[in-house]
Structure 1
């Protein structure tokens, strides 16, 4: 993880931000449907995983 590219770190940060926003919104609005919370949490997690997958170093040819 120490050689994480800046672009991929930003992508992972956006995913983490989406996870946090979903948790905070669900905490302060108890009437929020679970589908909204699940959508935002799933999207945030998917974006974070995408940032990790795209971080693979290029092979020397």
Structure 2
């Protein structure tokens, strides 16, 4: 039971980080403060970090 709750919390955290990074990235793209590659790379790194939960 504890492992299931921990897995759910990790997945929820990863989804929240991904959503936040997507919104921030969209804001940067709309205001032309970052290029497509930088936003994509930042999202990928944040998602990988959230999934590992050991950054």
Output the TM-score relative to the length of structure 2.
Answer: 0.55
Instruction: Calculate the aligned-residue CA RMSD, in Å.
Output: 2.5
Give the aligned length: 45
Change in Cα spacing, 1:39 to 1:27, as seen in structure 2 (3 Å) is: closer
* Mean Cα deviation higher: 30-39 or 4-13: 30-39
In structure 1, runs of 5+ residues without a counterpart are 52-61
Q: Which runs of 5 or more structure 2 residues have no equivalent in the other structure?
A: none
Choose which of 37, 44, 51 in structure 2 pairs with 1:41.
44
Q: Alpha carbons of 1:37 and 1:20: their partners in 2 closer, same or farther (altered >3 Å)?
A: same
Task: Provide closer, same or farther for how the CA distance between residues 16 and 29 of structure 1 changes in structure 2, counting only shifts above 3 A.
Answer: same
